[in-house]
Structure 1
Amino acid sequence: MDVAQMSTSIEQLLKRLEDMLKIGEQHINSLQTSYETALKEIHNERQRIDDNLDRLQENTIRNLEQLHSRLKTSLENESKRCIECVSKLRSYDTKDTHSTSLERSFVAYQKCLDHSASVDSFHQNVLSNIDIVFERNKDLEQILASCTELGSIASYAAVSHYRIDPNEVVSVIDKSQYKVRTPTDKENCYITGICGSSNGEFVIADFNNKCVKLLDQGYTLLAQLQLPTFPLSLCNISTNEMAVTVGDVGSANEIHFLRVDKRSIVNFKTLQLNHSCYGISIHQSDMFVTSGVAVYQYWWMVGCSRSCIEIHLNI
């Protein structure tokens, strides 16, 4: 190689290194931007949860005030009736009985009997002391206690725009088959969903056998959890939690929340719906469920609808 060729090669290497430095600087800036975006989303998620907790608190306090007002009004009315009864009884002159006719005495006696019944009623109500008791929502407490994070934190490698080929054809590089049927399975496996956990394990939904199965990185079966009926769709909630829609015509329409823990699957929450549920997807705190003719939006953190938005599809 002569000096000119060597100089050209050096220039090319320097150019490539300079481009790599620019790309590296862009990646650092992109990383910082994504960090700030994720941090903002975490704060926004906390704010959404706070807003929903504020709404629950306002509704509970409103119920408390309504019950207190109703009970207080009832007690005050009883007191007024008692005062009126006392006033009427004191108006009867029981000392001058000799000058009172038998008719008037009989009428007064009947009124006394009526007031006696009222006094018995007042006495019974006074003995029945009414207190207001707050019973906390244990389901809400358990769900919040079971959550370990507001959402999953992960990184992904974004392909640099320098290397993107919009005309690149996606092709299958390799294909392997693994047996996931167990001796207890009565039907051939029919997989309707798959999700991964943070430690590389997989959860699959087996439609025909009405169950979900946990596989290790070598696709060996670790655990199996039976469901009440057919699993239709599966999606990730966080790094180790999933949600699976379970449904059957004329039967259950449910969402089961699962957790992968120590090489096992745990069902930690079940949400019953009043509509068919097929597909499911979760974005931040919003859970979207399809029924075949509509899309429903739920707030999945507490397993209840948040002014459920229903979007009907033209089919």
Structure 2
Amino acid sequence: MATSVDSGHSGSDLVKDYVCGGCESRQIYESADYFCATCTKFFCRKCIDPHDQIYANHSKYGRGETYKWPLTKTMEDLLLKCDVHKDKKLKMFCQDHSQLCCTDCAFLCHRQCTNVALIFESAKNLSMDMQQLSNKLQTIVDELNKFKITKEASMQSVEESCNEKLLEIQDLRKKINAALDALENTTFKELDEIRTTLLTSLKKDIDNGNKLKDDLQTLREAVNGLCDKSKKELEFIASRKCLDKIQESESYLKENHVNVQSSITFRANTDIWQYLFKQSSLGRIVDSMQSLKLKMNPDQVLTLMRTSEYTVSIPSDTCQNYFISGICSMPSGQVIVADFHNKKVKLLDQHYNVSSHCDVTGKPWEICPITSSEVAVVFNKDVQFISVNNGKLVNGRQFSLKHDVKGIAYHQGALYITSGTTLFQYSLTGSQIKKLYEDVSRCWRGT
């Protein structure tokens, strides 16, 4: 039986290597590079030379023909090990359940079965094409590798989408902060204007009061100076002036109550904080894969109820002969269309009015959704990603292919792109995964 040693591969316990028999006898564990079928022994590159000098006619196989090498003991033990009872070896096969069994399995689970036989008896008359089985295993391995690639691409898409949404959330927070700052500044301005008005009015009252007080004091000094002077004319004039000034002062005091203290009050706009207090988040986070799934019977017959026409023209259009070559609906209710002749992608609101647009470098053919806020548009040999950011279309990453691009679809992390006669599968980064189909009998002709 061949012996084995771990080759250093950490990806799987099944990856084992063979040990050179000559080196192993000297307690040196060197990986084997050849197997001699005549000697039934393994040799490394150093040990194969003296072997060939003595046994030049022996049949030996290198690593390029490992399928002719015997199984390692590790691999054989792995195949014989019961998947349920790890310390037991497989001994029987239950035809009723098409299941390999160890003695414990046979006793515990298959006692009532009528077609349980020893494995060597079941294998006597069984013809097995191991090469076909190997090919099928490799096919499944290839499919799993593709599955891994698409899921990794989906993970990358999720991370990119999450980062984009994080920036959008932060941008929304900045806008809310800016709006609150503007409200605060406006309120501060109103406060300052009222303060200035009140202070100006109060200062004017103080100035007027001081003037009246000064006039009264001056008249009082004059009146005191006229006492016992027997100057009737001056006394008459002084008395009239005093009475007029007293009347003026009393009227002024009556109009301006001295016991009322000026102050400023603030009545908060409670609608703002009450509205914010009622909100659970800054917005709704949607899983685009879930939102794009159609919850309907695939065999259901759809009936057209009505049709409507809308215009997508905007002032910057250079061509009035419109050809909408692609269209897709977003989870938000918005619609994105590809305007072929004007080399534009346009965003329509829920009333189908053009709310935003962006230019592309070629005439767009097809458009498909990638996430809840991102689409992919194709033109010439290019794929252009476009995002909806705060109600605006924004050009994102772009990559070019070696063939024309006439159609595009997205499914489970992968892009499906057609040149018109050939269908390809691509990753989101523009790496070709495989060619799915090619129609060599036709030549596609576009506009």
TM-score by length of 2: 0.35
Between the two structures, name the one with larger relative contact order (CA 8 Å, sep ≥ 6): 1
TM-score by length of 1: 0.48
Based on CA coordinates, which of the two structures has the bigger radius of gyration?
Answer: 2
